[in-house]
Amino acid sequence: MQFYLPIAEMPVNVLTVLGMSAAVGFVAGLFGVGGGFLLTPFLIFLGIPAPVAVATASAQIAASSVTGALNAWRRRAVDRKLGLLLISGGLVGTVLGVVFFNAMRRIGQLDLVISLSYIVLLVGIGTMMLVESLRALLRRDGQGEGPVRPAGSHRWFEALPLRTRFQQSGLYVSVLPFLLAGLLFGFIGAVLGIGGGFMLVPALIYIFRIPTAVVVGTSQFQILATMLVATLLHSATSGAVDIILALVLIVGGVIGAQMGVRAGQNIDSRQFRLLLALLILAVGARFLADILVKPVEPFSLVRGEVRG
Amino acid sequence: MRRTLFAALALLPATARAEDLVVLMSTQDVAITSTYTGARVTVFGMIERDASSVSRSGRYDVVVTVAGPGGPVVLREKTRTGPLWINRTLKRYPDLPGFYALMSTGPVPVVANESARERQKLGLGYFLTPSPAPDEAAEAGDAALLRLRKSGGLLIEDIKGVQMPRPNLFSSAIPLPASAPTGRYLVGVTVLASGVPLKTVNTSFVVRKIGFEAYVAAAARDNGLIYGLVTILSAIAIGFIGNLMFRRD
């Protein structure tokens, strides 16, 4: 069932896109992540122009985080002050990211920036997750997960100024690392079409030792806010958001995520984390192969870039 | 959905020449809708001969050219930089038709003599102007460009692309791939005999998005902010509905 995408200017098979977004949604629901780091690369592999893939995926990520954000709000698993700081930093980062995105697109290097960033990101995160999940699998005696840190060890961020109390998270620390984290992930998210939850969540858990439920709930709000703004800014500045593609992705993602959440309740999460790590590495390897392996067809044609 | 109405495009006034040429096209307006996967535009023609003119013994040949909207094109080549294969700009073509088809009743050098080819711009050489100072890289680039365009269906050279069911009737079906650009396509139809052009008719058709597709594309281009707002509101709405549908309480 072919459908012509008005912005990507190409026909796609709706069932392929629906199935792909449902599969990504399933993985996302299973692991409680947004899935943008898989969705955007898959769209690029399908032949969607990279700028359209990035801008459109942000709409899908926003939609899929609505559910998570609402559920977290109902369960009162949101640290409002932490969320506000992350979102403030995130909005600035998103604006900077969209500006950078358009500047790279103008000089014709956006595709290279996107694939290099994905290589660094996916190979890095994938390797870390692989090591961590292998360790967890070997440590099958059922001990608590997560790093065991000796009590009273020095934590660098405790020295920072502007300390404040985070009720829900049980913290009394500076606001600066959270503003900075929001900025960084907002920027990366706008350029690469990812929510950044799969980086933000572990960072908050491992570095600040905030309770997992609070981290997940709060980060959903950060992702929702930054991805909504990213979608809006991409639309307003480059017109690269394909609303038809976005709607198909959203529907597939919502359905897939629900199945993923259900499936996630009866499985050994450690084995599936290993699978996720391998999946991330595989996508990273695909990007890597593009620039490491001698291409079969070294030539490519692009429409003349807009200059000025 | 293509218009099936046949549109009479060019009925030419009688000239001093003995042959007259009537060209019809299956459509003047190729509409890109949500189910668009490319289209086929057929050119029909009839060669009419003046009753008073001397009868011609040889057969007619026909060449049909279709040139899509032009624009700048950049040819990139992946070259080895250390361990990496990185795209580099190899050549820029300031104005290249986004689509080009050359359909004929036989090999163009056979059916048209040199002056005819030059005057009517028949041949791939007129699609791609040769570099003023050709070097190896530029020639390799030109060859790659032709290969890429051909494999994408955007450059067609078919020496059996014009059929003649009767000595004075012909038709040519031009397949447009889905990636063919939107805009005006110029069609040139030339009738020849013994390599000499007898008559040329120029006409055109348009490929454009219509209906919903056109509306969406125009909104994204002209009202980006409102378009973005609609997108995020639908995203929130669907997310919210999904949440209600699958809520586990």
DSSP labels, B200-235: EEEEEEEEEE-HHHHHHHHHHHH-HHHHHHHHHHHH
Nearest CA in chain B to A290: B85
Residue A194 pLDDT greater than 60, yes or no: yes
Q: What is the mean pLDDT of residues A108-114?
A: 82
- Torsion on CA atoms B135, B139, B140, B141, rounded to nearest 10: 110
Q: Could you tell me which of B93, B94, B96 has the C-alpha nearest to residue B127?
A: B96
Q: What is the pLDDT of residue B1?
A: 42
pLDDT of B43 reads 95
**Residues of A in Cβ contact (< 8 Å) with B225:** 232, 235-236
At A8-22, the pLDDT tens digits run 888 899 999 999 999
- List chain A residues with CB under 8 Å of B178: 4, 10-11
In a domain, A256, yes or no: yes
pTM of the model: 0.80
Contacts of B217 in chain A (CB under 8 A): 6-7
CA of A109 to nearest chain B CA: how many angstroms apart? 9
What are the chain A neighbours of B230 within 8 Å (beta carbons)?
Answer: 243
Chain A interface disruption, residue of B231, B238, B244, B247, most A CBs within 10 A = B231
Phi, psi of B201, deg, nearest 5 = -125, 130
**B121 torsion bin: left (phi>0), alpha (psi -120 to 50), beta (else):** left
CA-based nearest distance A53→chain B, Å? 15
The Cα–Cα gap between B30 and B209 comes to: 8
pLDDT at B240: 86
* Residue A307 sits at the chain B interface (C-beta within 8 Å): no
- Structure-token pair, residue A93: 């980062």
Q: Which of A261-270, A299-308, B152-161 has the highest mean pLDDT?
A: B152-161
For residue A70, how many other CB atoms are within 10 A of its CB? Answer: 17
Work out how many domains chain A is built from and give that number. 1
The confidence score (pLDDT) of residue B64 equals: 94
Q: Which residue has the higher pLDDT, A146 or A185?
A: A185
Is residue B74 classed exposed, middle or buried when 0-12, 13-18 and 19+ CB atoms within 10 A define those classes? middle
Across the interface, whether the CB atoms of A291 and B85 are under 8 A apart is answered yes
User: What average pLDDT is seen over chain A?
Assistant: 84
A window 287-306, beta carbon within 8 A of B: 290-295, 297-305
Which residue shows structure tokens 């040199």? Answer: B114
Nearest CA-CA distance, residue A215 and chain B, Å: 20
Q: Do A302 and B234 touch (CB under 8 A)?
A: no
Both tokens of residue B13?
């006034």
**Closest chain A C-alpha to B181 CA, distance in angstroms:** 9
C-alpha–C-alpha distance, residues B32 and B51, integer Å: 44
For A208-222, the pLDDT digits (tens) are 888 888 888 888 888
**Residue of B241, B181, B188, B248 lying closest to B209 (CA atoms):** B181
Cβ–Cβ of B148/A231 closer than 8 Å?
no
Q: Which domain holds residue A201?
A: 2-139+162-292
Is residue A142 within 8 angstroms of chain B, CB to CB? no
Closest-approach residue (CA) in chain B for A75: B249
Binding-face residues of A in 15-54 toward B, CB within 8 A: none
Class of domain B7-209: mainly beta
Strands B100-104 and B155-158: parallel
Q: Decide if A9 and B179 are in contact by the 8 Å CB cutoff.
A: yes
Q: What is the pLDDT of residue B137?
A: 76
Interface contact B145-A299, CB threshold 8 A: yes
Q: Residue A234: which of A13, A62, A119 has the closest Cα?
A: A62
* Cross-chain residue pair B213–A4, CB shorter than 8 Å: yes
**Cα-flanking dihedrals φ and ψ of residue A195, to 5°?**
-75, -35
Q: With an 8 Å Cβ cutoff, is A263 touching chain B?
A: no
**Yes or no, beta carbons of A243 and B234 under 8 Å apart:** yes
- Whether residues A303 and B141 touch (CB distance < 8 A) is answered with no
pLDDT of res. B84 = 80
User: Of A235, A258, A303, which has the smallest distance from its Cβ to B231's Cβ?
Assistant: A235
Task: Judge whether A237 and B224 are in contact, CB under 8 Å.
Answer: yes
d(CA B242, CA A203): 29
A-B CB pairs within 8 A amount to 175
Interface test with A, best of B238, B240, B241 (most A CBs within 10 A): B238
What pLDDT shows up at residue A276?
A: 83
ipTM over 0.85: no
Task: Give percent of chain B above pLDDT 70.
Answer: 86
Q: Are A189 and A230 in contact (CB under 8 A)?
A: yes
Least confident among A167-176, A238-247, B7-16: B7-16
Nearest-neighbour CA in chain B from A214: distance (Å): 20
In a domain, A258, yes or no: yes
Sheet holding B39-49, edge to edge: B7-11, B19-25, B39-49, B169-176, B163-166
pLDDT of residue A89: 94
Does A13 map to a domain? yes
Cross-sheet strand order for the sheet of B70-81: A299-303, B70-81, B84-97
Calculate the alpha carbon distances from B38 to A33, A97, B1, B141, B150 in Å.
38, 36, 10, 27, 15
Q: Is the pLDDT of residue A145 over 60?
A: no
Residues of chain B with pLDDT under 70: 1-17, 51-57, 129-134, 247-249
Report chain A residues whose CB lies below 8 A from the CB of B139.
none
- The per-residue pLDDT for B153 is 93
In the prediction, which pLDDT does A6 show? 86
Task: Using a pLDDT cut of 90, give the percent of chain A over it.
Answer: 32
pLDDT at A148 over 80: no
**How far apart, in whole angstroms, are the C-alpha atoms of residue A123 and residue A287?**
10
